[in-house]
Amino acid sequence: MSSEFTANSKTAYKSDRRSPTRFVVSHVRRHWYVAVALVIGAFSNAAFQSTVPILIGRTLNKLQDFEAGTITGDAAMQGILVLVGLLIGAQFLRSILQLIRNFSAETFGQRIERDVRDELYANLLGKSMTFHDMQPVGDIMARVTNDVRELYFMMNPGLNMVVGSGMFLVMPLFVAPTIHPQLILTPLLFVILHLIVQIRFILNLYPIAQKVRGSFGNMNSRLAEALDGLEVVKGTAQEENEKERFANLADNVRDYYIQQGEVEARYLSTLLWGLAFVGALIHASILFQAGLIRIGDVVTYIGLIYMFGFPVFVTLFSLSRVASGYASAKRILDIITTETALDQNENGHHAAMKGEIVFDDVTFVYGEGAPVLKHISFTVQPGQTVAIVGQTGSGKSSLTKLINRTYDATEGRVLVDGVDVRDWDLASLRSQIGNIEQDIFLFSRSIAENIAFSDDKASREQIEDAAKKAQAHDFILSFPDGYETKIGQRGVTLSGGQRQRLALARAFESNPPVLILDDSTSAIDSATEDKIQKAIWTAAEGRTTLLITHRLSQIRWADHIIVLKQGKIAAQGKHEELLQTSESYRRIFARYDEPEQQANVIATEQA
């Protein structure tokens, strides 16, 4: 499967992704020794539990022999003491082995939860932006958190109890015939009917479990979206409407849980267990009356039938966990197996970048829509500064996203240093391209960590130097904690200008050969812009720089200007040349630039 990112081969685990069952089994197989310990513990627990009715029955037989005079009181007492000692010893060993089983089950569940979460997270990092653009964040979070957690519950207590209860079903089948061969009938009939009930139960429960998990993902998506857009919700006084929408989604989750409860309420094994008691008692009484078994054997046999109570009551709960976990495994696998058009290409071209960029007849389409870019061709020489201008929706940002393979060209080629970007090692390509988006994203970390995001080994001197170049040093020191100041999610505690200066500092710190600035000074006041303009000019020296901007002050010093209109190149050349020859270029400034800059444009045209 194609992937932009692949986890380190030393830690990555290749699971079997052909089906949810194979996926779960492959993760179970990874920790087979823990699974073996769990099975041994479960078998031993059931085996030692079966010794309780056996030893009690033999104790009653000893008392019966004493009353019949076939053994002396001393012999009876000595035999009973031995049986009591065996009973105590068996339960002591059972407690130790049960501890091993429960410890193994907990270890098992925790490790599988960890492994699946690691695998899913690495896989999500490897998905293309096309995938993430179409996938609700809340639903992804539900899968990464709740669905993965359901896999833990599937293993413990789910699988743990299923295996343990299965051993409690097996023991009476082995022990009952040793009392009398006919006594196999009732437990055998019960086990067969019980298994039929379990199969029907899980088949009815699984579709509902899928709906439960799906409805929870939808609810989580709505919640994440509302919280992310909380400012818009409050700004338009839509709190009540959002509460109603969320309540409807929460009601769906509730309704599916109620459906699950209705299926569980029709669980028939409890009735079968009661009927098994009646049948076992009648059968054992008949054999006792016929003198074929003793009173202690009757007690032992009824005690063995009583062991069925554990699987009857436990499987009602544990199979629900298994059904829910299996539904979650399918949801996780649906994400993992969704293929992306991009691949990491680890064996691709890997070299220090010089900075030549060539667009060779490039057409780009998002999904199945209309082309965003049409037959784009131009060349950027190493060290050259190119301004890309155009009205909103002309494809400026889309064009720059093709350079670092955020998206791949639908037709044509994008070459960096003469090599198609699809032939580059993706990590090598992206690590040498600095990209400052119009929508600045900052992490909920310290300012220093945000600046040094691409280089966690950066020194404080390097971080401060980058901040000074971006004109951010002074405002950072105005905070009580300076560079250690924690900023809110997406940098909401900062002003727009402060966020953009931190983004510039992050780009300056990484010192990339290619720098892309997507309207990166749009939220900066004129006084600060003058300072940053000098910083950008300094940063652009010796590196290839692409500017997406409407500010005439930035466009003037570009070596080359490309004008986009409706996804096509309308014109390209120098500023003065385009003012004279390109109507599209003149309209851009007549519509977007400041009044004094419009006057400059008019004066230039008149001249």
**pLDDT given at position 539:** 66
Domain 357-432+512-606 in this protein, CATH class: alpha beta
Task: Classify residue 407 by its DSSP letter.
Answer: S
CB 387 within 8 A of CB 562: yes
CB 176 within 8 A of CB 304: yes
Amino acid at residue number 399: L
- In this structure, how many other beta carbons lie within 10 angstroms of the beta carbon of residue 247? 11
Characterise 108 by phi-psi region: left (phi > 0), alpha (psi -120 to 50), beta (else): alpha
> What phi, psi does 216 have (nearest 5°)?
-65, -40
Domain spans of the chain, in order of start: 111-336, 357-432+512-606, 442-502
Residues of the chain with pLDDT under 50: 1, 9-10, 592-607
CB 342 within 8 A of CB 182: no
**Helix, strand or coil, per DSSP, at residue 455:** coil
**pLDDT given at position 595:** 47
The sheet that has 568-573: what strands, in order across it? 433-436, 514-518, 544-548, 385-390, 560-565, 568-573
Q: What is the rounded CA–CA span in Å between residue 58 and residue 79?
A: 9
The contacts of residue 403 (CB under 8 Å, 6+ apart) are 357, 414, 416, 421, 433, 514, 516, 546
H helices of 229-268, in order, are: 230-235, 239-265
Handedness of CA 444, 447, 450, 456 (dihedral sign): negative
Extract the tokens encoding 137: 């964040």
* Burial class for 202, CB neighbours closer than 10 Å (0-12, 13-18, 19+): middle
**pLDDT given at position 522:** 58
Whether the ω angle into residue 157 lies within 30 degrees of 0, i.e. cis, is yes
Strand-pair partners of 514:
433, 544
Q: What is the rounded CA–CA span in Å between residue 125 and residue 132?
A: 10
Q: What is the rounded CA–CA span in Å between residue 196 and residue 244?
A: 43
CATH number of 111-336: 1.20.1560.10
Identical fold at 111-336 and 357-432+512-606? no
- In this structure, how many other beta carbons lie within 10 angstroms of the beta carbon of residue 531? 15
Q: What is the rounded CA–CA span in Å between residue 157 and residue 317?
A: 9
Cα distances from 449 to residues 383, 437, 501, 510, 587, in angstroms, run 29, 18, 15, 13, 42
> What phi, psi does 169 have (nearest 5°)?
-75, -35
Q: What is the rounded CA–CA span in Å between residue 233 and residue 345?
A: 43
Please state whether beta strands 560-565 and 385-390 pair in parallel, antiparallel, or not at all (unpaired). parallel
The per-type count for the chain, helices as H runs and strands as E runs, is: 24, 10
Q: pLDDT tens across 33-48, in order?
A: 888 888 888 898 899 9
The contacts of residue 407 (CB under 8 Å, 6+ apart) are 128, 129, 130, 364, 366, 398, 401
Q: Within 13 Å, how many C-alpha atoms sit on residue 248's CB side? A: 6
Type and span of the H or E element at 357: strand 357-365
Q: pLDDT tens across 245-279, in order?
A: 889 999 999 999 899 888 888 888 889 999 999 99
Type and span of the H or E element at 572: strand 568-573
CB 23 within 8 A of CB 13: no
